[in-house]
Chain A
Amino acid sequence: MSTTEESRDAEVPRNPDARVDAEGPKSRAGTRTGGSGRVPLWVLVVGLVAVLVAALGGLAAYGGQTLPERLGPPVEELAVERTVIAPGSIELVLRNTGPDPVAVAQVFVNDSYVDFTGADEPIGRLAADTLVLNYPWQDGQPYTVSMLTSTGLVIEHVVDAAVATPEPGFEFLGLMALVGTYVGVLPVLLGMLVLPILRRTSGRVVRVLLALTVGLLAYLALDALLEGLELAALSGGAFGGPVLVFLGAGLAFLALTTIDKVLAGRRPDERDAGSAGMRLAVMIAIGIGLHNLGEGLVIGSAYAVGELALGAALIVGFAAHNTTEGLAIVAPLTTRRPSLWSLVGLGLIAGAPAILGAVIGASVDNAGLSALLFGVGVGAIVQVIIQIVPGLRDRTSGRLLDPATLGGLGAGVVIMYLTGLLVAA
């Protein structure tokens, strides 16, 4: 809405170089031949890059030799990126997340040394290797895998509940797609059914609903942020740890803001409320979609470690939770009559990423990647909230927060909290 104004007056050249260029090809040729007495810009850039490359290369080649050896014992870190549990064996995909090579010499599980294969050579920095442990694990029991390194350090990995890892075949992917549809697409579409009712209500009710939407989204953003940080803590930190969440959030925010500007810039004449409403609906759908991607990840990875034992109850819980998201998408559409297909499209944008998330979550057990994707969800939601907030303003009084919208905000948070309890199992 207010975003379009800024791009209007962007025609004025902002720097002297641009102004010189504006004078035409002749003057550009003039600078190249040195007519103005100045070195061409590209020569400066190339020269600077060359100096930087030479300096950094020299530092890398010779600088290190002038410093003393690092003091203290080697820093040994291993992150477990994936755990595959098969009959009689536990397989760990390890990544060295520390600065020094790590040699896994022996392994014990729940205080018993085990035979294993893999990692015969020390694992180098950021390199990966796979251990296959010969261990008669029992269904549903917790296990602590202790990797004894060549220096005597113990690196532990806890399997909360051992359950055979499902085979990633077509049948399994199909199952994940079905779960994603149940918890993502269908609830969002169901929530969108309130649109006809919304149309008959006053602008005040719509503002309250938008406030409710902001409450819902704020809750989801916080939830995804906490979940992402929790996952990041598991990833060992080699690729940034918690920074990954904020990196994902920042990039998603910037990307969505760019998309919004592009959408707004394409139709500068259609500045009526209807077009803006549709654009807002699309942005909300994208934001919720990226959130549902994170939710799908949680479901998929939970399924992969057998924690979806409660299956149906969990799916019903997620579905109830997500129905409110459909409401959020159609809230800006009350003054417009969108086609059925565009509504279905919005529902798919918001819901289908849950399917993708479930498939990724079930087949890629990588805490770092998951943390990044949760961050993407957070950034998307924050961007959407910033878009909605101006719509909360009462046009007659000019007030942003009146009792009704504040009530809507609070109700949104409470609804999300209460439906969230359904999936806490």
Chain B
Amino acid sequence: MGGANGATFRGGAGVDHAANGFDPRTLLREFDYGTVSTENGRTVRDWTIRAEDRDIEVAPGVVFPAWTFNGSIPGPTLRATAGDLMRVRFVNDSEHPHTMHFHGIHPADMDGVPMVGRGIISPGEEFTYVFDAEPFGLHLYHCHVGPLAEHIARGMYGTFIVDPPGGRPPADEMIMVQHGYNTTFDGEGNQLYAVNGIPFVYMNDPIQVRRGELVRIYLVNILEYDPINSFHLHGNFFDYYPTGTRLEPSEFTDTVIQAQGQRGICEIRFPYPGKFMFHAHKSEFADLGWMGFFDVVDGAES
């Protein structure tokens, strides 16, 4: 690694996932459906999310004083089906005031912004956000306390998926949240770029997928300070569903661009086995950590 073979951390090393308390390799396919119950014939999903201040090793030997949802960057991927009732109990265990602002459609007092509804949740306090899961698609949640850019750049974001009624076709599903770390806190771009928390992690440990099997990537851009991001896949094309709110793809491509807050679903079948790179096609971001590999292997269904 290194030199003409491309960007890498010193010695190709990775971070201590155990000490961080989360691992992007498992985060990739982790969907949190919450605690499910039925009230008046309606499916209700309950979650508890805690804001926590946490030092995270974002590159080998580099410690970032993060603010997190449930201790990981990004926060957990919440998942419901259109029409469910979502109840998110937010406990602020951080030393700073925060909120949870959900995208989607909901009443004003559930918007999680200061001075509207319950507004700011101070340290030690809690609040339960209650809203319907709609529309179906791929959405974001993040803290909305000022200065907004800092609260996001420190790590307070995550994704929630609302499945369409009846669901989508079966697939190997994964979540990819594009983001970065401004370790100098100068608001001038970022020193590190990543998907799912740690730069270069899928370079060292390629994502295993099966040849011919449908792969569905929930792709989100929540990059702060240098906000136009992109996703490029080598050797393959994919169907792209912007925001995931329609069931027909808008394009067949190998590269999509997303501004901060944009998201969409990519569906691919890999026809060839082998290692295929994916990365930000803003090459600078790739060289600063936002790149990885798919390792396509022959499986039962190929």
Give the residues in chain A near B11, CB-CB below 8 Å: 115
Give the residues in chain B near A116, CB-CB below 8 Å: 2, 10
Bound CA span A113–B9, Å: 6
Closest residue of A by beta carbon distance from B62: A105
**A112-B287, A113-B288, A153-B183 given; A105·B61 CB < 8 A:** yes
Q: Is the CB of B59 within 8 A of A112?
A: no
Give the residues in chain A near B1, CB-CB below 8 Å: 115
Residues of A participating in the B interface, judged by any CB pair closer than 8 Å: 88, 103, 105-108, 111-117, 134-136, 146, 148-154
Binary interface encoding of chain B residues 264-283 relative to chain A, with 1 for a CB under 8 A from any of its CBs, else 0: 00000000000000000000
Asked if B169 is an interface residue, CB under 8 A from chain A, the answer is no
Give the residues in chain A near B289, CB-CB below 8 Å: 113
Q: Is the CB of A115 within 8 A of B4?
A: no
Closest residue of A by beta carbon distance from B186: A154
Q: Is the CB of B61 within 8 A of A115?
A: no
Asked if B191 is an interface residue, CB under 8 A from chain A, the answer is yes
CB distance from B227 to the nearest CB of A (A): 17
Which one of A88, A103, A113, A117 has the greatest number of beta carbons of chain B within 10 Å?
A113
Bound CA span A150–B183, Å: 10
How many residue-residue contacts, CB under 8 A, span A and B? 79
CB distance from A154 to the nearest CB of B (A): 5
Which listed residue, B3, B8, B185, B288, touches A111 by the CB 8 Å rule? B288
Q: Is the CB of A154 within 8 A of B7?
A: no
Closest residue of A by beta carbon distance from B200: A113
Interface of A is mostly: strand
Q: Is the CB of A151 within 8 A of B61?
A: no
Q: Is the CB of B9 within 8 A of A106?
A: yes
Give the residues in chain A near B183, CB-CB below 8 Å: 148, 151-154
Bound CA span A107–B61, Å: 11
Q: Is the CB of B60 within 8 A of A106?
A: yes
Residues of B participating in the A interface, judged by any CB pair closer than 8 Å: 1-4, 7-12, 58-64, 181, 183-185, 191, 199-200, 284, 287-289
Give the residues in chain B near A113, CB-CB below 8 Å: 7-9, 199-200, 287-289
Bound CA span A12–B8, Å: 76
Give the residues in chain B near A149, CB-CB below 8 Å: 62
Q: Is the CB of A136 within 8 A of B7?
A: no
Bound CA span A149–B183, Å: 10
Q: Is the CB of A107 within 8 A of B288?
A: no
Q: Is the CB of B2 within 8 A of A115?
A: yes
Q: Is the CB of A106 within 8 A of B62?
A: yes
Bound CA span A150–B287, Å: 20
A-B residue pairs, 3 tightest by C-beta:
A115-B2, A152-B183, A105-B61
Bound CA span A316–B58, Å: 54
Bound CA span A79–B43, Å: 62
Give the residues in chain A near B59, CB-CB below 8 Å: 105-106, 148
Closest residue of A by beta carbon distance from B58: A152
Q: Is the CB of B7 within 8 A of A106?
A: no
Bound CA span A75–B263, Å: 40
List 27 A-B pairs, Cβ < 8 Å.
Answer: A88-B3, A105-B10, A105-B61, A106-B60, A106-B61, A108-B7, A108-B191, A108-B288, A111-B284, A112-B7, A112-B284, A112-B288, A113-B200, A113-B287, A113-B288, A114-B7, A115-B3, A115-B8, A116-B2, A136-B3, A146-B191, A148-B59, A148-B183, A148-B191, A150-B62, A152-B181, A152-B184
CB distance from B4 to the nearest CB of A (A): 5
Give the residues in chain A near B200, CB-CB below 8 Å: 113
Q: Is the CB of B8 within 8 A of A154?
A: no
Which listed residue, B63, B199, B287, touches A151 by the CB 8 Å rule? B63
Which one of A111, A117, A152 has the greatest number of beta carbons of chain B within 10 Å?
A152
Q: Is the CB of A154 within 8 A of B63?
A: no
Q: Is the CB of B10 within 8 A of A103?
A: no
Bound CA span A146–B288, Å: 12
Q: Is the CB of A150 within 8 A of B3?
A: no
Bound CA span A151–B191, Å: 12
CB distance from B34 to the nearest CB of A (A): 34
Closest residue of B by beta carbon distance from A88: B3
Bound CA span A148–B10, Å: 11
CB distance from A108 to the nearest CB of B (A): 7
Bound CA span A105–B10, Å: 8
List 4 additional contacts besides A115-B2, A148-B191; criterion CB under 8 Å.
A115-B3, A115-B10, A151-B183, A152-B63
CB distance from A406 to the nearest CB of B (A): 53
Give the residues in chain B near A107, CB-CB below 8 Å: 10
Which listed residue, B2, B7, B62, B284, touches A148 by the CB 8 Å rule? B62
Bound CA span A142–B15, Å: 31
Q: Is the CB of B64 within 8 A of A114?
A: no
Give the residues in chain B near A114, CB-CB below 8 Å: 2-3, 7-8
Bound CA span A153–B61, Å: 12
**A113-B289, A152-B63 given; A135·B3 CB < 8 A:** yes
CB distance from B292 to the nearest CB of A (A): 14
Bound CA span A103–B17, Å: 21
CB distance from A131 to the nearest CB of B (A): 10
Bound CA span A152–B56, Å: 11
Give the residues in chain B near A154, CB-CB below 8 Å: 183-184, 191
Bound CA span A153–B59, Å: 13
CB distance from B119 to the nearest CB of A (A): 31
Give the residues in chain A near B8, CB-CB below 8 Å: 113-115
Give the residues in chain A near B287, CB-CB below 8 Å: 108, 111-113
Which listed residue, B4, B63, B199, B288, touches A150 by the CB 8 Å rule? B63
Give the residues in chain A near B4, CB-CB below 8 Å: 136
Bound CA span A136–B58, Å: 26
CB distance from B8 to the nearest CB of A (A): 5
CB distance from A133 to the nearest CB of B (A): 9
CB distance from B48 to the nearest CB of A (A): 30
Which listed residue, B3, B62, B288, touches A152 by the CB 8 Å rule? B62
Which listed residue, B12, B60, B184, B288, touches A105 by the CB 8 Å rule? B60
Give the residues in chain A near B61, CB-CB below 8 Å: 103, 105-106, 150
Give the residues in chain A near B9, CB-CB below 8 Å: 106, 113, 115
Q: Is the CB of B2 within 8 A of A152?
A: no
Which listed residue, B12, B64, B199, B284, touches A115 by the CB 8 Å rule? B12
Closest residue of A by beta carbon distance from B285: A111
